[in-house]
Structures are given as C-alpha cells and as structure tokens.
Amino acid sequence: MIIGSGQGGVPLAADYAKEGRKVVVFERDALGGSCINYGCTPSKAFLAAAHGAGRARQTEKLGIHTQVNVDFPAVMERVRGIRDRFNQGVHKRLESAGVRVICAEASFVDERTVKGGDVTIQAPLVVINTGTSSLVPDLPGLAGTPYLTNRNFFDLKTLPSRLLVLGAGYIGLELGQGLARLGSETHLIVRGDRVLGQEESDVSETLAEAFKQDGIQLHFGVNAERVAYENNVFTLSLSNGDQLQGDALLVVIGRKPNTGALNVAASGIELDDKGFIKIDDQFHTTCSGVYAIGDAAKQPAFTHVSWEDYRRLKAILKGEQRNRHDRVLGYAVYTEPQVGRVGMTLEQAQKKGMNARSVVLPMSQIARAIEWGHELGFYRMVIDTDTDKILGATLVGYETAELVHVFLSLMEAGATWQLLEQSVHIHPTYGEALPSLARLLVED
C-alpha cells in the first residue's frame, strides 16, 4: 500500500505490481504529486517562455534591438498542456502495471490499516509518500482572498500588471522573475536582508543584481502585517509603514508536510514537532512495516531525491546496504542566472571541522561568458586540503544547472581536484572554465 503518488511512490508501485504483488495507491488529488502538477513540470515550462522573453530583451547589449510581445494566455495554455500530458502518463503507467488506484484521502484506522472513501485496506508493507504543500501565514486579511501559491499559479489566464511576492526562496524567485520577464511590475517582499538566504551571500548578491536588471523591486528587512483586497486589487501593509498594491499576490514563504489528515497515531507512527514523519536511516517509521520517503519524511524537497528514495527503499527491502544519506546531493535554482549547487559550502565544511578551502572564478573572466554577454556570476569549488577531494561547488551563471553535474559525478566517484585540473575541456565553452577553476589551486 502506497499513500501518495509522487515521484517516489509511482515507480515503486509500478515495479511491485509488475513483479506480481497486489499494490494499492491512495491519492486524494492529481496523480503525479507536486512535481508534475504544480512543481517542476509546469514551472520549468513556464520559465522556458519567461527566460526566452528575458534573453531576447538582453540582446540589446549584443547590438540586437528587439520588441518582445508576450501572448500570456498562449504561454499558460502550453504550460497546462504539458502538465496534463505528463499527468496522463502517470495514469497510463499505473494502469498498465496493474496498480489499483483509490482516489480518496487516506487515513490510518489501525496498525498498517488505511481507510480512504468507502475502502479499508490492511497491508504488510505501507509506504507514505504524501509530500508537502504551501505554508500559508496567519496574516490578517489574507484568508478568503484569491492569493496565489505554486498550487494555483499555473491556472492564471491573464498576466497581472502588478505582482507582489511574499517570500524569497527558490519558488518565489523563479516565479517572481518569470512574471517580471513576461511583463508584470514585480515586487519581492523579503523578511531578511537577502534573497535565497540559505545560500552563500555572494549567491544572493548576484541574484539581487540580476533581478534589479529585470526591473524587479526588492524590499528587504520587512514583514507583511496585513492584507486588504478590494476591487480586484491587493494592498499589502508592511512593517516599515509602506503599502504596496498589486493585481496578484503570490505567497511562497515555505512548505509544510501533508500529514495532518493521515491520523498516523492509529498505526503507531510518530511525527516530529513540525509534522514531518520520523524515520531512521532506512526510511522505517516507528511502526513495523511502515516506511516514508520524500519530503513528507523531511528528505530534501527535490524530485530527484524522492525518486532516489524509491530506489534506496526498494534496495533496502531486498536486503541491500543503502541508506537515506548515501548519495551526493545536488540541486539547482532556475532563475537567470541559474544557481547550480552540489555538496558542501566552505562554511559548512569548516563547521564540520574539515581542513577546507575554496577557489572562485568570476564569469567575467570566462571567454564564452564574455562572448555571449553572460558575465554575471561565478564558479566556486570547495576542497578538502587533507585529501584533495572535492567537497562541493557553487555555480552561478548561464545554464549552471547542467554544468554542476560535472562536480556531482566527480564527487560520487571520490575524485580529487587534480583530476579536474588535468582535464582538457573544449574551447570555447562554459565547461572549459571548470579545469581553469581547479588550476587556481595549482597557481596558489
């Protein structure tokens, strides 16, 4: 029995059904989880259009003068079409594998016994894959207004002329910059002193500069105190006394686990103080036979992590030696410039007591970046000076979500920085700068 049809639950269900097991999936919403329905798939289809428009405008510095006309309804119709096609693919995959799908909200009624709708099922193996959803603040005046989250953002049919974004994490930055590049006057309300506050400060500074170039207005060090909605206009009152008005309000302050309706106590499953499912290193909950994967179990909230959780758990159940931490973690932020991250930052490594150091190469010193006009950003690599192994990398620049895989593979193989330094990458490419980055260690 699998509760939730996210990117870990679906392949697990399909695999077990094809092996001849009786498999049931409970899903209260759309099949495919957040990635397909209101996460990766629609957001990246949306950003394809947004960044296409942004890049076209930026060709002025290359001597190309363009006029960009955005057909917003067509943009969003394409986004929804791709989303729906992917969703149907999940339907077909489960159906062809012989998985029984119960479209109902599931809750435990006894040990490893779940009820959904008028169906009650007990199973020896239960996997929880319910994911997370938008965290909505208890902000006076917000309830009952047509505010946006990533859940309903992709249902937009008209371009808001003015957009207010509450939150400065990766979802707010991607969608906020996206609407700005498609023509919205965009304001980012940032509680702290920088965007993307969990990353290194120069990452935040680079993105802030890019956003200013896109005409986005950044409001730092303020809290939203109340919301008013009248005549289709949002008025947001800030802690510094300012008021901002917008035709749309996007609330993206964080995520919460989808565990509230599960009644997990009926099966002896414990939650932490924030509602995430407690698991050990082998994804086992506090109830025998019940496992949890993905971000509902506080794993890093990325599709590729949830999918690898499925592979990990399947291997564990076959008796193999895997655990929830046994792969190098990489991720990306799909702003422009992109942020590609893998492993540890210098600060994280030093806090662990490692003898670490880093080297940095600005994009403005990379031939391809100069030639193409993509000079905003940098490449950074962190190494262990005791072993020469690569500990992490931060890449901020054009399509760095692709380039960061070079580091991810080297780190998975346990390689040293000398292997990268000895590599001869093709000229002129962005990837050519990676060995150049490593050669800074030789020069020192």
**Is 168 annotated in some ligand binding site?**
yes
The response to whether 167 counts as a known ligand-binding position is yes
| 2-3 and 356-362 strand pairing | unpaired
Residue 95 is labelled as binding a ligand: no
- For residue 32, the tally of other CB atoms under 10 A from its CB is 26
- Tell me how far apart the alpha carbons of residues 390 and 433 are, in angstroms, rounded to a whole number: 16
Cα–Cα distance for residue pair 193/222, rounded to 1 Å: 9
Give span(s): CATH 3.30.390.30, the chain. Answer: 330-443
Q: Is 427 a catalytic residue?
A: yes
Alpha-carbon distances, residue 352 vs 140, 180, 318, 392, 417 (angstroms): 42, 40, 33, 14, 20
CA–CA dist 18, 193 (Å, integer): 52
Q: In the CATH hierarchy, which top-level class contains the domain 330-443?
A: alpha beta
Q: Per CATH, is 2-132+256-317 categorized as 3.50.50.60?
A: yes
Specify the CATH number of the domain 153-253. 3.50.50.60
Catalytic residue among 51, 219, 304, 427: 427
Q: What is the pLDDT along the chain (444 residues), one digit of tens a residue?
A: 999 999 999 999 999 999 999 999 999 999 999 999 999 999 999 999 999 999 999 999 999 999 999 999 999 999 999 999 999 999 999 999 999 999 999 999 999 999 999 999 999 999 999 999 999 999 999 999 999 999 999 999 999 999 999 999 999 999 999 999 999 999 999 999 999 999 999 999 999 999 999 999 999 999 999 999 999 999 999 999 999 999 999 999 999 999 999 999 999 999 999 999 999 999 999 999 999 999 999 999 999 999 999 999 999 999 999 999 999 999 999 999 999 999 999 999 999 999 999 999 999 999 999 999 999 999 999 999 999 999 999 999 999 999 999 999 999 999 999 999 999 999 999 999 999 999 999 976
Residue 430 token pair: 């962005």
Q: According to CATH, where is 3.50.50.60 located in the chain?
A: 2-132+256-317, 153-253
Q: Is 173 annotated as a binding residue?
A: yes
HSE-CB for 179 with a 13 A CA cutoff: 30
Report the C-alpha gap between 60 and 287 in whole angstroms.
61
pLDDT of residue 364: 97
Q: Is residue 171 part of an annotated ligand binding site?
A: yes
CB 245 within 8 A of CB 89: no
* pLDDT at residue 260, as a whole number: 95
pLDDT of residue 444: 65
- DSSP assignment of 222-290: --EEEEEEETTEEEEEETTS-EEEESEEEE-S-EEES-TTS-GGGGT--B-TTSPBP--TTSB-SSTTE
Overall size of the chain counted in residues: 444
Ramachandran category for residue 388: left, alpha or beta (phi over 0 → left; psi -120 to 50 → alpha):
left
Q: Is 170 annotated as a binding residue?
A: yes
